[in-house]
């Protein structure tokens, strides 16, 4: 009895008035701790399982502007083609010398518009003698023929002609841009000319070949001491000096059509390797994301490397997101050089391939006692690393998204300090050469329309009018006041059956990407060069490449009709999502 009385007294003592405050505080503390534990548990589960909407979790103002810029409005809504450095340069920002007019080309004793007389040659019985392509008169003849034939481009440089495939053929190269071009790029073409000589010593251009038919006039590669291909630094002989800089900035312009040298840079000696400073990003959740996401993060790493005055060690292998693959799954093993201009990057910035770097590191770091500084928190800013003396700074990213995204390094106070060097990354010039070939086959004289159908046209809840507004009947009605009858009309579309657009053939000469498959098939230059990059294995012309070329051909049309801006009142991102810029 005494024990039970003692317990009752003890319990009753705890409910005494003077103890109520203490008990209440204990209960509140326990409740708060329980809520905290539950909150941490919920946050951990969400962080481990939640995948933020691509491309980014909390995009900064700069990222928002990057993704929503009006220049690529229709295509950007589908998160397809990433913008690169050349897209940020308007055509009015470029500085070009006066282009070459027909009146600028001397034609001594010309007969007709495409003829010159060889004063010092007795032509009797010699009409079949070889044409001297190095003769200045022949040079002037070919220039005049090119300027007269290609009326929709401006010529900025002509290369001196060289002998073609036979005695009556000359090959000549030139640099140009379309008269109504909306991009900053220059283009290079080289064509075959067939020249005839008449009995009265008159030379005439009989025909001009197709795009890139004059291969002998192309700048060639030569072998360096290491045996790898290297493009000669010398400009094409005979070309007049043409500016390739952006006004106020020392930034070169892309020249589409030149031979590409994107061999990997190497460090030639132990001493030069040991004296270098390097930055590498390792791991993270950026892999297999959209190309927009990939490039936004990569540019952060490149910007930090430049800020720290270090060489960026980069992984040239890319995991292509499933939205771009024919298999419908993410695909590893893609090469950076398939999609971007690595030659321009390595010539403009200090970068190394990580496979080569780790090989050199393992070979030399013990002898030279090279230091490694490991950073495992993205909140350690580049500014705090500016005084690090170690040879290598490694940023290691964890497994929890989105805190393991590379671009997080460039957020916050860093955003105003570390600038993403957009001018260093351009689109692959091999892909852009396909674009140039398509436009050249259309003589750079065509209009374009982008027709979005696919899943969106089938989803009438989100896009109630899209299917009807992009039907052939509606297209004919909409385009009649926008595109003149008989025009070349390039149709960029995700509609797999292009016969769907056959009714448009009554008014327009319609063209689609698949008409130009020879530009990437097994007999093409693109096929051979990408296979070489891929250890001799053929490379698929994948969905990202297709939509890249389709988009860029679209943007080179003289008139550009976009789906959501011009063909339908439906919103790009679905019902009730329209903005003033849509």
Collect all residues with Cβ–Cβ distance below 8 Å to 325 and sequence separation of at least 6.
331, 542, 543
Domain residues for the domain of 548 are 428-567
Do 442 and 535 lie in a common domain?
Answer: yes
Residue for token pair 């695909």: 331
pLDDT at res. 239:
31
Residue 559 placed within a domain: yes
Residue 8 placed within a domain: no
The Cα 414–Cα 301 span in angstroms is 12
Residue 398: CB atoms within 10 A of its CB come to 13
Residue 97 placed within a domain: no
Do 263 and 276 lie in a common domain?
Answer: yes
Q: Which of 396, 426, 456 is the last residue of a domain?
A: 426
The Cα 322–Cα 519 span in angstroms is 24
Do 69 and 157 lie in a common domain?
Answer: no
283 or 230: which carries more pLDDT confidence?
A: 283
Strand ranges for 398-456 from DSSP E: 447-451
DSSP state letter for 112: S
Do 446 and 366 lie in a common domain?
Answer: no
Between 70-79, 142-151, 259-268, 526-535, the lowest mean confidence (pLDDT) is in 70-79
Do 497 and 521 lie in a common domain?
Answer: yes
Write out the DSSP string of 166-180.
STTEEEEEEEEEETT
Q: Which of 393, 426, 459 is the last residue of a domain?
A: 426
The Cα 117–Cα 268 span in angstroms is 56
The mean per-residue pLDDT over the stretch 386-407 comes to 96
Do 131 and 203 lie in a common domain?
Answer: yes
pLDDT at res. 250:
52
* Upper half-sphere CA count for residue 518 (Cβ side, 13 Å): 5
- Joined together, the tokens standing for residue 261 give 């040298």
Do 485 and 396 lie in a common domain?
Answer: no
Cβ atoms of 346 and 265 within 8 Å: the answer is yes
Residue 146 placed within a domain: yes
pLDDT digits (tens, 9 = 90+) for 150-162: 999 999 999 999 9
Do 335 and 211 lie in a common domain?
Answer: no
pLDDT band at 39 (very low <50, low <70, confident <90, very high): low
pLDDT at res. 9:
41
DSSP state letter for 581: T
Collect all residues with Cβ–Cβ distance below 8 Å to 479 and sequence separation of at least 6.
449, 489, 504, 507, 508, 561
Residue 576 placed within a domain: no
The Cα 321–Cα 337 span in angstroms is 16
Do 337 and 448 lie in a common domain?
Answer: no
Count of structural domains within the chain: 3
Collect all residues with Cβ–Cβ distance below 8 Å to 194 and sequence separation of at least 6.
168, 169, 205, 206, 207, 208, 209
Q: Which of 366, 398, 426 is the last residue of a domain?
A: 426
pLDDT at res. 58:
34
Residue 116 placed within a domain: no
Enter the pTM of the model: 0.81
Do 368 and 402 lie in a common domain?
Answer: yes
The Cα 571–Cα 452 span in angstroms is 12
pLDDT digits (tens, 9 = 90+) for 288-343: 999 999 999 999 999 999 999 999 999 999 999 999 999 999 999 999 999 999 99
pLDDT at res. 20:
52
pLDDT at res. 98:
75
Q: Taking 90 as the threshold, does the pLDDT of residue 200 lie above it?
A: no
Do 321 and 282 lie in a common domain?
Answer: yes
DSSP state letter for 420: P
Residue 36 placed within a domain: no
Residue 38 placed within a domain: no
Do 289 and 437 lie in a common domain?
Answer: no
């Amino acid at each position: 009895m005494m024990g039970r009385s003692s317990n009752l007294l003890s319990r009753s003592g705890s409910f005494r008035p003077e103890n109520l405050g203490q008990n209440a505080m204990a209960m509140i503390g326990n409740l708060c701790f329980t809520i905290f534990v539950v909150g941490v548990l919920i946050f951990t589960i969400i962080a481990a399982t939640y995948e933020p909407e691509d491309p980014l979790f909390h995009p900064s103002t700069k990222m928002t502007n990057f993704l929503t810029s009006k220049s690529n409005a229709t295509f950007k809504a589908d998160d397809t083609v990433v913008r690169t450095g050349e897209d940020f340069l308007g055509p009015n920002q470029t500085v070009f010398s006066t282009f070459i007019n027909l009146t600028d080309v001397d034609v001594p004793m010309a007969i007709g518009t495409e003829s010159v007389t060889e004063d010092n040659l007795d032509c009797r019985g010699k009409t079949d003698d070889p044409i001297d392509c190095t003769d200045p008169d022949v040079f002037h003849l070919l220039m005049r023929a090119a300027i007269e034939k290609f009326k929709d481009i401006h010529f900025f440089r002509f290369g001196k002609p060289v002998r073609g495939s036979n005695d009556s053929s000359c090959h000549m190269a030139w640099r140009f841009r379309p008269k109504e071009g909306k991009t900053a790029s220059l283009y290079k073409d080289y064509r075959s000319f067939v020249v005839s000589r008449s009995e009265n010593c008159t030379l005439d251009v009989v025909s001009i070949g197709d795009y890139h038919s004059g291969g002998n006039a192309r700048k060639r590669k030569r072998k360096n001491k290491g045996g790898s291909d290297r493009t000669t630094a010398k400009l094409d002989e005979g070309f007049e000096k043409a500016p390739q800089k952006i006004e106020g900035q020392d930034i070169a312009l892309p020249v589409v059509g030149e031979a590409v040298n994107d061999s990997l840079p190497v460090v030639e000696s132990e001493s030069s390797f040991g004296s270098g400073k390097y930055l590498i990003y390792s791991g993270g959740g950026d892999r297999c994301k959209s190309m927009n996401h990939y490039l936004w993060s990569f540019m952060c790493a490149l910007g930090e490397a430049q800020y720290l005055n270090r060489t960026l060690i980069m992984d040239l292998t890319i995991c292509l997101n499933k939205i771009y693959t024919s298999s419908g799954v993410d695909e590893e093993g893609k090469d950076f050089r398939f999609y971007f201009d690595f030659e321009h990057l390595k010539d403009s910035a200090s970068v190394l391939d990580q496979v080569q770097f780790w090989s050199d590191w393992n070979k030399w770091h013990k002898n030279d006692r090279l230091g490694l500084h490991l950073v495992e928190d993205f909140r350690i800013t580049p500014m705090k690393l500016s005084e690090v003396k170690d040879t290598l700074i490694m940023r290691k990213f964890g497994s929890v998204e989105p805190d393991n995204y590379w671009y997080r390094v460039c957020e916050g106070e860093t955003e105003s300090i570390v600038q993403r060097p957009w001018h260093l990354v351009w689109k692959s010039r091999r892909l852009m050469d396909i674009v140039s070939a398509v436009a050249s086959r259309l003589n750079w004289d065509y209009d374009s329309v982008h027709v979005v159908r696919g899943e969106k046209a089938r989803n009438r809840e989100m896009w109630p009018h899209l299917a009807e507004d992009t039907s052939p009947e509606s297209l004919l009605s909409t385009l009649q006041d926008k595109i003149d009858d008989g025009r070349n009309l390039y149709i960029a579309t995700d509609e797999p059956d292009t016969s769907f657009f056959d009714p448009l053939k009554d008014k327009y000469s319609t063209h689609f990407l698949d008409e130009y498959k020879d530009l990437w098939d097994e007999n093409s230059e693109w096929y051979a060069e990408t296979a070489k990059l891929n250890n001799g294995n053929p490379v698929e012309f994948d969905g990202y490449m297709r939509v890249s070329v389709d988009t860029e051909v679209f943007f080179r049309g003289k008139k550009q009709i976009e789906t959501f801006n011009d063909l339908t009142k439906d919103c790009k991102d679905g019902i009730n999502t329209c903005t003033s810029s849509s």
